[in-house]
Structure 1
Amino acid sequence: MNNMHNLDDASHIYSVSMLNNAASGLLNDHFGTVWVTGEISNLSRPSSGHLYFSLKDNQAQIRCALFRFKHTQVNFSLENGQQVIVQAQVSVYEPRGDFQLIVTSVQLAGAGQLQLAFEKLKNKLEKAGLFDAAHKKSLPIFPKQIGIITSPTAAALSDILKVLHRRFCSIPVIIYPTQVQGIAAAGQIAAAIKTANSRAECDVLILARGGGSLEDLWPFNEEAVAHAIFNSDIPIVTGIGHQTDFTIADFVADLRAPTPSAAAECVSPDATEYAARLSLYYARLLQCMNTHIKSHQSHLMHLQKRLQHPGEKLRQQAQTLDQLENQLHRAMLFYLKNKREKMAYYAVLLETLSPLKILQRGFSITREKKSGKLIRHCADVTAGVHIVTQLSDGEIESVVV
């Protein structure tokens, strides 16, 4: 009876739909537009283009609806696990009485928002050609001086100096101090790069800092730093954070090293390695020299055997000259003997054919006295001509009658 009495006294009884509607109005009037942060889960993408998901933290969750006309204004793709900040109106989905948020805008929270900015700048600079391999400068094999752009109090600087000292301690190092974290860091880094280029003291630069969160490394994702690296005439090697950390500076740099220590190894020759190479080259050179010397010694010994003392050579030449003289003397005697024999032969022959010999055998020769013409026939003379007849023992003059 008491319960019925209370029911009779009730001034108003709500239907379910009325209650849900009233609750929705109260929530909307009380909260208006709110900002809520949480992790996306249970993301649903129906064909209508609307998105439905839950926003949760460690202790609770709330359903959310992002309608298509608002979804098209979000500049990134929503995924499960993203930390986001949503602008929404608190409402009740009346058909089921579900408490929900009607989302009007979404942005990534914390590192997520920075990651979005990172991707935007990366795409922009990549399209502008700042990452092109054609613009990468080669590193010197033996740098005359190495420049380091980092914080003078950073542990990364100590690591770099240890590596440089271990690998090639004679290469001088110049430190260009700068902040590597905070609002002013990007401007100081860009200024340090320009200073190093204007002073032209080094032929390679290391841009480095130790590990940290995306927020800590953010100065190396600033556009001013990217352009300073790109415009540097000196090749730059980055060693920023850990192996898994990538910054815009890494993409623009001429070489990216996974750590500051690795960057130091990239820019410095290994003295131990080169000492081993020099030892090997020295051994090879020594071997080649010994082989060359032995070859020349063998050749010299061969020439030495062929070489004679000048006195011995003169004695051999004198002996040869004596032999030639004897040969010439014998040849001359033979030649003269041969000529004498020929002359004797021709003398006998001439004597045999001599007219005097003919005259001695009783013959005579007659000539005209005046002309000396030889008379062979009687017709060759006329009466009164004086003639001379030559006999073996004299001449007879006569007149033809």
Structure 2
Amino acid sequence: MTTYSVSELNRLVAKILDDHPLLANIQVNGEISGGKLYPSGHFYFSLKDENSSVNCVMFRSNYNRIKFIPKNGDKVTVKAKASIYEVAGRFQLLVNSMEPQGIGDLYQQFELLKKELANQGYFSENNKKQLPELPNLIGVVTSSEGAVIKDIINVLRRRFPGFKMHFVPVAVQGFGAAEQIADAIELLNFRNQVDVIIIARGGGSIEDLWAFNEKVVADAIFNSQIPIISAVGHETDYTIADFCADLRAPTPSAAAELVVPEKRMLLENIQFEREKLIKSLQRQLFNAKQTLDYLMERSVFKNPRSLIDQQKKLIVELSGRLEREIKHQTNYHKRQITFLYNNLQALNPFSILERGYAYIESSEKTTIDSVNKISSGQKINIHWSDGKASAEINEITYKRKI
């Protein structure tokens, strides 16, 4: 019988574990217990069930790749290599990856639906619709709670003051959320008032974002006649809605950046084109005058008299044609400038007020654009183009939704 030292014994057991093909890559379910993340970035914990436990370590490089923060009591599935800590002779698992139990099924569902929809052409570039350069009315489908809708409004207000938006509030996670999102897209298509639709929510786990991975949402996006921008989660999050949409934005704020240009830049471009037009006309007039002056000084116009008269008639004819053309060009470009100016005026919210409309604010200075945002007895302020008035809500009548 061979006699081993403790170190030799531990090395022998470590070699046996290393060489065993089953234990080199094993998947284990269990509950995290005694977990601790050390300053080194390594995560030490035990994995237990109702009868046993095993020590585990997840080194920093592997820990940084998981998409959630593990905590005691979490039920997880790990992929690991069986090993022994030779110094103490302690059996342990070297964990390579970790995910909450059940997440693997969701990823599998995601990949299966993604493959099915890809085969049906849902993601084809040929089915993508072009976004409007300057939408008159923007549809937004997201939650009325949280920062997403505020971020979108803030960006739109900064880039294009006076923008118009139709907001359809929906649940963005949990039971029935997918159906609400799909219904909102179909409602906006039925009304056919908006020029583009943003569907958005903030970041979260795959479970939090799952409503945007449902086929009912994919069908609504694919069948939409209105272009759709998907802005779901963070830049690293991808959903089925992202693949189906006409454009994917990495964040809700980025979607608002993409949907409208900067109004200031549009105005600067108009002014630049106007100055170019004026300079072009001035140059044409100057050249025409130079040509006329040159012709008038030539000797052929002075002698003989008959030739002079003939050339004078020609000059008069050419001058008339030139003036008419200049007048025509000037009127044409003036109409173009007036057209662009009127379009900008139509987008000015104060122009709408001057036509007899009004807008309502709460006592906290926030705009009230729906009866769902008021309550009986609430104080409100009503603004017209020439002043404002304070009022109190006495009665609320709701219009039945279509």
Normalised by the length of structure 1, the TM-score is 0.52
Determine the C-alpha separation between the residues in 2 that align with 1:291 and 1:175: 51
Stretches of structure 1 that go unaligned for 5 or more consecutive residues are 1-41, 64-79, 87-98, 100-106, 318-401
Query: What amino acid sits opposite 2:122 in the alignment?
Result: L
Q: What secondary structure is seen at the aligned counterpart in 2 of 1:251? A: helix
Q: Please say if residues 142 and 269 of structure 1, whose CA atoms lie closer than 8 Å, have aligned partners that are also in contact.
A: yes
Name the SS for the 1:216 alignment partner: coil
Aligned to 2:142: 150
| Letter of the 1:156 counterpart | V
- Structure 2 residue 261 is the aligned partner of structure 1 residue 269: yes
What SS does the aligned partner of 1:269 have?
A: coil
For residues 215 and 252 of structure 1, what CA distance do their matches in structure 2 show?
19
- Distance apart, 1:264 and its partner CA: 0.9
SS of residue paired to 2:206? coil
* Counterpart residue type for residue 136 of structure 1: K
Paired amino acid for 2:256: A
Confirm whether residue 207 of structure 1 aligns to residue 199 of structure 2: yes
Q: 2:171 corresponds to which residue?
A: 179
Q: Distance in 1 between matches of 2:145 and 2:255?
A: 18
What residue in structure 2 maps to residue 352 of structure 1?
none
Deviation at 1:260, TM superposition (A): 0.6
Deviations 1:72-96 (A, max 9, x none): xxxxxxxx9897569xxxxxxxxxx
Asked if the contact 1:154–1:209 (Cα under 8 Å) also holds between the matched residues in 2, the reply is no
Runs of 4+ in structure 1 displaced over 4 angstroms? Answer: 42-45, 49-56, 80-86, 303-309
Partner of 1:220: 212
1:136 corresponds to: 128
RMSD of the alignment, in Å? 3.8
Q: Give the aligned residue type for 2:104.
A: G
Equivalences for residues 283-294 of structure 1 within 5 A? 283-294=275-286
2:160 matched to 1:168? yes
Identity fraction in percent: 41
Check the 8 A contact 2:33/2:48 in 1, yes or no. Answer: no
In the TM superposition, residue 292 of structure 1 has moved relative to its aligned partner by 1.1
Q: Is the 8 A contact 1:163 1:261 kept in 2?
A: yes
1:149 and 1:134 map into 2 onto residues whose CA distance is 25
Contact 1:147 1:176 in 2 (8 A): yes
The amino acid of 1:300's aligned partner reads: L
Aligned length: 239
How has the CA–CA distance of structure 1 residues 282 and 198 changed in structure 2, closer, same or farther, with 3 Å as cutoff?
same
Q: 1:296 aligns with which of 269, 288, 305?
A: 288
Q: Which residue of 1 aligns with 2:70?
A: none
Mapping for residues 287-366 of structure 1, pairs under 5 Å: 287-303=279-295
Q: Is 1:245 matched with 2:237? A: yes
Over 3 Å counting, the alpha-carbon distance change for 1:261 and 1:51 in structure 2 is: closer
Deviation at 1:148, TM superposition (A): 0.7
> 5+ unaligned residues in a row in structure 2: which ranges?
1-16, 35-45, 50-64, 68-74, 79-90, 92-98, 310-402
User: Pick from 190, 196, 202: which aligns with 2:188?
Assistant: 196
Structure 1 distance, partners of 2:28, 2:237, is 31
Conserved in 2, the CA contact under 8 Å of 1:54 and 1:62?
no
Residue matched to 1:93 = none
| Bigger radius of gyration among the two | 1
Please say if residues 134 and 261 of structure 2, whose CA atoms lie closer than 8 Å, have aligned partners that are also in contact.
Answer: yes
1:92-135 deviation line (CA, Å, top 9, x unaligned)? xxxxxxx9xxxxxxx97143332222222212211221111111
**CA distance in structure 2 between the partners assigned to 1:232 and 1:45 by the alignment:** 55
Whether contact under 8 Å (2:140, 2:198) holds in the other structure is yes
| Corresponding residue of 1:256 | 248
Residues in 1 aligned to 2:109 and 2:150: alpha-carbon distance in whole angstroms: 32
Instruction: Give, in whole Å, the separation in 1 of the partners of 2:162 and 2:18.
Output: 60
Q: Deviations over 1:233-255 (max 9, x none)?
A: 00000111111111110010000
Note the C-alpha offset of 1:280.
2.7
Alpha-carbon deviation of 1:279? 3.0
CA contact (8 A) 2:28 2:77 kept: no
The 2-side partners of 1:207 and 1:81 are apart by: 27
